Chains A and B, each alone.
Chain A
Amino acid sequence: MEYIVQQVINALAFGAEYALLALGLAIVFSIMGLVNFAHGEIIAVGGYTMVALGALMIGNPYIVIASAVVAAMFASVMLERFAFRPVRYADPTTGLLTAFGVSMILQNLFLLFVSPRPIAVTSLYFLDWPVNLFGVQVSSLQLFETGATALVIVALMLFLRRTTLGIAMRAAALDFEMVRLVGIRANRVFAVAFLVSGLLAGLACIFIMARRGSVDPHMGFNPVLKAFVACVVGGFGSLPGAVLGGFILGAVEVAMLVLLPQEYGGMKDAFVFGIIALLLIWRPNGILSPRIEKGDKV
């Protein structure tokens, strides 16, 4: 019984991380149709910020966390301004390939100017301690992660439903031309979308760094690939779909960890993606894909 509860908490924590990342991808995609492959490098920017602070002997956890998040948000907005603006109204393939190129440039810049080897970051280890929750042994990090994701989902919902800008962003996902016609500045909508996306990447960065304790140029790739898969399963462009997809992926992953024999450990991702592929045969457009209605732009 305790074992099952423990695995459920594991699945929730994994799912929370994927949901956090998938939301960051989905919010940008829903507005400008951009598949942001450079999301992983935003995470790496946060990680390298921690390295820089470490080099400056700044160990105050609040400063470390805040600057990593701010750096990720700043990097995200800068990418929008300089890399993605030229392809803003282009078709999704053009945007996707641009993002792919941007991701490649950033990875190689880290490699070129910092180091191709992993650098240890120890300033966030304090976030991780064992907790005894009603007789079940869990890690504090897992609780923080699940809690933070729940908080983010609520905050994002309030923002998207209660503020003018949030409503404009939801409208922009349906018909951007109309949003511009009623006098909302396009630049502001895009900037805020990337700001939120960067914020989510920054938060995810903190949990990823606290767990792995090191940063390297390719660190963002694996989590973001999972987040992409979560988006596809949930329905690309749908925010609830991104969250649902993230938690499904987390559950499948933990199930594989539990069920697969030890010697197949290296094949875990292969099995996870295989199961996801079966889900996609059932719903090729994802589970919660926005329905195309009469009059929508296709």
Chain B
Amino acid sequence: MTRGLYGVALISIVLIAIGVATTYFGSRYHLRLVYGAYVNLLVVLGLQVFMGNARITNLSHSAFMGIGAYVAAICVTPETVKAISLPQAPWGLNAFSLDPISSALIAIAITAIIAALIGLIIVRLTAIGATIVSLAVLVIVHSVFLFRTDIFKGNQAFFGIPQVFSLTSIVILSVAVVFIARMFRESKWGVQLRASADDELGAQASGVNIHQVRLIAWILSGILLSIAGIAYAFYLGTISARPFYFNHVFLTLAMLILGGMRTVTGAVLGTLIISFGLESVRWIETGPVVLGIDLPEVLGLSGVVLGAVIVLTMAFRPEGIMGDREVEDLLLKP
């Protein structure tokens, strides 16, 4: 636990330093990019809580992020805007608005309830089955977003969400989430869950209630993902269904795998490397002019790079860069 706090402190210093540097030296455009990276960091941390500790691949995380984002957005947007954007919303959804804090709490509560219901099925399945069902969950949630245009506006933008968050708030939030994720990993439940991932029968024989600890991690993961979604909606002001689907699942999964899903440090490291690495790939993708040579536009390059990152990591270092080591293990003696 004490070592865990030490590790949280080290990661926090890095996260705060990046935030401060961007605030002082970055343009508005950089600010937006870094904010996006921090949202993804929250997603990857939320993903790590379940996937890293239980070692069951989860592909539905972007859906939970979307649920959090949409619920918060529907609650917080003023009635006047909703009267225009959601004229046909059922259940009087366009006839009220709440302050940001209650909206966020409602979003977290609803996501947690949905996560708990889905979790009841997921935790009982074998690893592969759980992954496939999580994929089905992603597809179901996405089709609900697309189909109920009267509530979610589908592929069109849901606009008029007041900007509540700034870079400072998300840096503070990310430090808090790093703390939660790390403390969960070191807690009794976290240890039991990791033990069950290493040896399911052995853990069961030692009295671990596998289904229960998996469910706890799954719900906590859902809550953290909804927080990421709320942070996304509260800064950008507009959301649509598309960012909560496959491309985002791929992206955040690659981040977690590269850094190493077993540790919180790995989650942070992978997010930072891919967030900054991908920006340069995106720049090449648009076909820039380098040293007087006009490079062609190569759409899809970033997807190839992300896929290659996953395949190469799996082939050469399946446990990711960090493996089983947290950041303090590199500095302190065991």
Contact = CB atoms under 8 A, between A and B. Distances in A.
A107 B306 CA distance: 12
Interface in A48-84: 83
B83 interface: no
Interface stretch (A169-177, A203-211, A281-289): A281-289
A101 B299 contact: no
A232 B133 contact: yes
A101 B309 CA distance: 8
- B129, B301, B302: most-surrounded residue (chain A CB, <10 A): B129
B147 A273 contact: no
Given A236-B128, A267-B144, A277 B307 contact: no
Given A101-B308, A101-B309, A101-B310, A270 B140 contact: yes
Given A94-B314, A100-B253, A273 B140 contact: yes
B314 A97 contact: yes
Contacts of B144: 267, 270
Contact of B318 (A94, A103, A112, A264): A94
A277 B308 CA distance: 33
Secondary structure class of chain B's binding surface, majority of residues: helix
B191 interface: no
Interface residues of A, number: 46
Interface in B92-137: 120-121, 124-129, 131-133, 135-137
- B127, B140, B307: most-surrounded residue (chain A CB, <10 A): B307
Nearest to A111: B300
A104 B129 contact: no
A96 B131 contact: yes
Contacts of B128: 29, 35, 92, 96, 232, 236
Given A229-B132, A236-B129, A83 B311 contact: yes
A90 B315 CA distance: 9
Given A225-B139, A232-B133, A269-B140, A116 B311 contact: no
B304 interface: yes
A93 interface: yes
B303 interface: yes
Interface in A251-298: 264, 266-267, 269-270, 273-274, 276-277, 280-281, 284-286, 298
Contacts of B135: 225, 228
B143 interface: yes
A298 B57 CA distance: 19
Give the size range of B's interface with the partner.
35 or more
B53 to A, nearest CB: 13
Contacts of B304: 104-105, 108-109, 112
B307 A105 contact: yes
A18 to B, nearest CB: 13
Contact of A108 (B129, B132, B301): B301
A65 to B, nearest CB: 29
B318 A284 contact: no
B310 A266 contact: no
B20 interface: no
B146 interface: yes
Nearest to B301: A112
A232 B129 contact: yes
Contact of B129 (A111, A285, A298): A285
A231 interface: yes
Nearest to B121: A277
A124 to B, nearest CB: 27
A108 B147 contact: no
Given A87-B318, A105-B304, A96 B57 contact: yes
A281 B132 contact: no
Interface string A15-29: 000000000000001
A102 interface: yes
Nearest to B319: A94
Contacts of A269: 139-140, 143
B143 A266 contact: yes
A86 interface: yes
Interface of B: 55-57, 120-121, 124-129, 131-133, 135-137, 139-140, 143-144, 146-147, 200-201, 250, 253-254, 257, 298-304, 306-311, 314-316, 318
18 contacts: A93-B56, A94-B314, A100-B253, A101-B308, A104-B304, A108-B301, A109-B304, A225-B136, A236-B126, A236-B128, A269-B139, A270-B143, A273-B140, A277-B121, A280-B124, A281-B124, A284-B129, A285-B129
Interface of A: 29, 35, 83, 86-87, 90, 92-94, 96-98, 100-109, 111-112, 116, 225, 228-229, 231-232, 236, 264, 266-267, 269-270, 273-274, 276-277, 280-281, 284-286, 298
Give the top 4 A-B pairs by smallest Cβ distance, nearest first. Answer: A101-B310, A108-B303, A104-B307, A105-B307
